[in-house]
């Protein structure tokens, strides 16, 4: 598969992971030329998960967007690629579960799922993601959200 960074087609598969119901396989790959890690997906053609955005518009779920958000918020935090992989797996499982048979989920639910998982890994990454993801108009609301998630994580 072509490396998104250097376009080399030499890569190795680091990990393959099937989702819970066996309908898709995600592979973590590493470019043998430049070392870049990326993800590929294999899916049975099925009803995609539809994301309902805040403005009511709909689009197919794309885990790569979550991955980008996580990358941005974990930058320079010395979080291992393995930890980020586990985090992504956990978010994907939550999204699959929440979308259920209807195969529909709101973008807010995806954001919350990502925040829940990020919180367990790094508080700094959590705050960064939250800042990017939400429009907080006051600090109290922001802190209340953090406490809310903190208590649901520890319970």
> Minimum Å distance from CB 1 to Zn ion?
10
Single out the residue of 10, 49, 57 nearest to residue 30, CA to CA.
Answer: 10
Q: Report the nearest approach of Zn ion to the CB of residue 7 (Å).
A: 7
End-to-end CA separation in angstroms for the chain: 42
CB 118 to Zn ion: min, Å: 27
Give the other-Cβ count within 10 Å of 74's Cβ: 22
Kindly state whether residue 36 participates in binding Zn ion, applying the rule CB under 5 A.
yes
Q: Which stretch binds Zn ion (CB under 5 A): 31-39, 57-65, 72-80, 145-153?
A: 31-39
* H/E run at residue 131: helix 123-133
The binder of Zn ion chosen from 2, 5, 64, 68 (CB under 5 A):
5
For Zn ion, the binding residue among 23, 24, 33, 83 (CB under 5 A) is 33
Residues with Cβ < 8 Å from 99, sequence gap 6 or more?
49, 61, 105
Judged by CB under 5 A, the residue of 28, 30, 31, 84 near Zn ion is 31
In 3D space, the residue among 136, 132, 137 whose CA is nearest the CA of residue 115 turns out to be 132
Shortest separation between residue 21's beta carbon and Zn ion, angstroms: 32
3 binds Zn ion (CB under 5 A): yes
Beta bridge partners of 58: 52
Single out the residue of 10, 13, 20, 34 in contact with Zn ion (rule: CB under 5 A): 34
The verdict on 106 binding Zn ion (CB under 5 A) reads no
Q: Tell the smallest beta-carbon distance from residue 71 to Zn ion (Å).
A: 16
Q: Quick one: CA torsion of 73, 77, 80, 85, rounded to 10 degrees? A: -10
């Amino acid at each position: 598969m072509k490396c998104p960074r250097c376009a080399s087609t030499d890569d190795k598969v680091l990990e393959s992971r099937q989702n819970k119901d066996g309908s898709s396989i995600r592979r973590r790959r590493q470019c043998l030329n430049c070392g870049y890690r990326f993800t590929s997906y294999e899916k049975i053609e099925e009803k995609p998960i539809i994301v309902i955005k805040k403005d009511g518009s709909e689009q197919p779920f794309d885990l790569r967007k979550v991955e980008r958000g996580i990358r941005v918020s974990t930058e320079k935090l010395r979080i291992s690629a393995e930890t980020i992989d586990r985090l992504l797996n956990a978010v994907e499982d939550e999204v699959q579960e929440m979308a259920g048979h209807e195969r529909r989920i709101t973008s807010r639910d995806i954001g919350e799922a990502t925040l829940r998982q990020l919180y367990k890994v790094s508080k700094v990454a959590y705050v960064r993601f939250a800042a990017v993801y939400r429009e907080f108009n006051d600090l109290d609301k922001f802190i209340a959200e953090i406490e809310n998630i903190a208590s649901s994580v520890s319970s």
